[in-house]
């Protein structure tokens, strides 16, 4: 288990609680069943490593040959095989499971909501966040327009994770904020969520934008909100020809990378969210209490 460090990088010991978390990195393809089977293996691997919260990447169930392929697997809110899969996995492993994103039905029949769903250890859903900011990008032959098939969400979302006592530490409640991928470029969303202990950002950054901005955006959002940030990502060459950046990681409130998956390909990133680290950073530099706007 990683030790907490103070704001100057020195190690600190504390009986205060920690929360082990894991980011799942995938290279999702065009077959939903295959993607779910691989997600199940990686969730099991993360749970076996002691993770109490496991987060999947954006579009974990499908990166189709066409952007419109997601319309064929959309589900009504509260029912469907993808939601049943997430609920079942959370209950089977007794973990908090963040379902990256999956397509839920929207009022517009030609579009879906790109929704991040959270399930507790009993398999019950505890939170839902619909991605607010929709990616649009043109660079040479690359062109992305999420608004063509996705309807934007409107409401920020947080949830509280109740953790049992561990070792000499007492029971703990962790406040966790939800976001998705392109949201990372809009710091005002995270100010609405703050203060939280952990931010989640399941993503599918392109190789082009990820190589330029992924790490700096993640570290900036963690630093300015003085919290941890867990970012599970798609990472590699996909069957549909798309290439994603990967580099799933956990960043601490001082902006240090706690754990990261460097190469392309599937796998997990595991690290600890430490209450002592949060307290040290916020006490040494109380920026959140200095806010005037």
Alpha helices, DSSP H, located in the chain: 32-48, 81-93, 187-193, 207-209, 215-225, 275-284
Q: Is 184 in a helix, a strand, or coil?
A: helix
| Nearest residue to 266 (alpha-carbon basis) of 61, 8, 26 | 26
The crossing angle, in degrees rounded to 10, of helices 81-93 and 32-48 is 20
41-88: per-residue pLDDT in tens? Answer: 999 999 999 999 999 999 999 999 999 999 999 999 999 999 999 999
Active site residue 58: yes
Question: Residue 50, by phi and psi: left (phi above 0), alpha (psi -120 to 50) or beta?
Answer: left
pLDDT band at residue 6 under the 50/70/90 scheme = very low
Measured distance CA(184)–CA(216) in Å, rounded: 10
Average pLDDT of the chain?
94
Catalytic residue of the set 58, 146, 215, 266: 58
Domains of the chain: 15-288 (3.60.110.10)
Catalytic residue of the set 131, 146, 227, 266: 131
Residue 225 has pLDDT above 70, yes or no: yes
Active site residue 227: no
Kindly report the pTM of this predicted structure.
0.93
Catalytic residue of the set 111, 146, 181, 266: 181
Residue 165 has pLDDT above 90, yes or no: no
Measured distance CA(150)–CA(110) in Å, rounded: 8
Residue 10 has pLDDT above 60, yes or no: no
Active site residue 70: no
Residue 245 has pLDDT above 90, yes or no: yes
Asked whether 235 and 242 are in contact (CB, 8 A), the reply is no
Measured distance CA(113)–CA(71) in Å, rounded: 10
């Amino acid at each position: 288990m990683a030790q907490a460090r103070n704001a100057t990088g020195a190690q600190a010991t504390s009986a205060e609680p920690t929360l082990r978390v894991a980011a799942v990195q995938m290279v999702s393809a065009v077959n939903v069943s295959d993607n779910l089977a691989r997600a199940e293996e990686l969730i099991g691997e993360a749970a076996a490593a002691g993770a109490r919260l496991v987060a999947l990447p954006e579009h974990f169930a499908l990166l189709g040959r066409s952007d419109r392929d997601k319309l064929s697997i959309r589900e009504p809110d509260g029912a469907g095989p993808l939601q049943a899969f997430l609920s079942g996995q959370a209950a089977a492993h007794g973990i908090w499971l963040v379902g990256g994103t999956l397509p839920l039905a929207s009022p517009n029949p030609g579009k879906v909501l790109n929704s991040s769903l959270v399930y507790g250890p009993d398999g019950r859903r505890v939170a839902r966040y619909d991605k607010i900011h929709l990616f649009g990008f043109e660079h040479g032959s690359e062109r992305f327009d999420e608004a063509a098939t996705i309807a934007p969400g409107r409401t920020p979302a947080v949830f509280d994770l109740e953790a049992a006592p561990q070792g000499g530490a007492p029971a703990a409640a962790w406040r966790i904020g939800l976001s998705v991928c392109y949201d990372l470029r809009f710091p005002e969303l995270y100010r609405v969520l703050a203060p939280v202990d952990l931010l989640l950002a399941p993503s599918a950054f392109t190789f082009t934008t990820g190589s330029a901005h992924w790490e700096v955006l993640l570290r900036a959002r963690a630093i300015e909100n003085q919290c941890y940030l867990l970012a599970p990502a798609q990472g590699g060459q996909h069957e549909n020809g798309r290439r994603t950046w990967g580099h799933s990681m956990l960043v601490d409130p001082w902006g240090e990378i706690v754990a990261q998956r460097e190469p392309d390909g599937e796998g997990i990133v595991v690290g600890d969210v430490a209450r002592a680290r949060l307290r040290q950073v916020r006490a040494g530099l109380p920026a959140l209490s200095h806010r005037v706007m």
